[in-house]
């Protein structure tokens, strides 16, 4: 189904570190927007999952961050940047099961080391850049027309 998007749509959300209460709100809103545009269910799901995991990483590890989305008729571009501790070894961080999460995070059902792999798997293009002590930015692109 060709989604009904004329022109480009963009928006952003502020993410607050440690705020588990509203965690997922940004992804839910993006999901609803894509639904309004008539985007394919499977694609909405992938976008929601990738965004959700990115949101959770910011909330778990960073002081604050921002989620920015940019939707065109061809694809959805999502950029999540945070002011967090940064990742020392990105390759290691991308390994499934690898996590630096403290115990209290694991007890909340997170920190099993699946966030980054989940994000990569659900996007068509995935790029991550990080500076230790400054923060991390994740770029994801999901194509709308298969």
Task: Show the site string, 73-112: x = touches another protein by CB under 8 A, - = not.
Answer: -----------------------xxxx---x--xxxxx-x
Residue 96 C-beta: closest distance to another protein, Å: 7
- Based on CB atoms, which residue is closest to another protein, 115 or 135? 115
Instruction: Check binding of 7 to another protein (CB under 8 A).
Output: no
Does residue 141 touch another protein according to CB under 8 A?
no
The binder of another protein chosen from 3, 65, 84, 115 (CB under 8 A) = 115
3-state secondary structure of 130: strand
Of residues 10 through 69, those in contact with another protein by CB under 8 A are 20-21, 23-25, 27-28, 31, 45, 48-49, 52-53, 56
């Amino acid at each position: 189904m060709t989604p009904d998007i004329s022109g480009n749509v963009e928006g952003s959300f502020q993410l607050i570190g440690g705020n588990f209460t509203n965690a997922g709100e940004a992804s839910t809103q993006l999901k609803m927007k894509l639904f309004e545009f008539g985007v394919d269910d499977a694609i909405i799901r992938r976008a929601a999952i990738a965004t959700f995991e990115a949101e959770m990483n910011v909330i778990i590890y960073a002081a604050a961050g921002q989620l920015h989305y940019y939707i065109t008729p061809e694809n959805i571009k999502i950029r999540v940047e945070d002011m967090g501790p940064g990742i020392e070894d990105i390759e290691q961080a991308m390994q499934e099961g690898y996590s630096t999460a403290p115990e209290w995070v694991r007890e909340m059902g997170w920190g099993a080391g699946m966030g980054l792999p989940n994000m990569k798997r659900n996007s068509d293009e995935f790029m991550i850049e990080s500076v230790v002590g400054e923060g991390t930015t994740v770029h994801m692109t999901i194509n709308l027309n298969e």
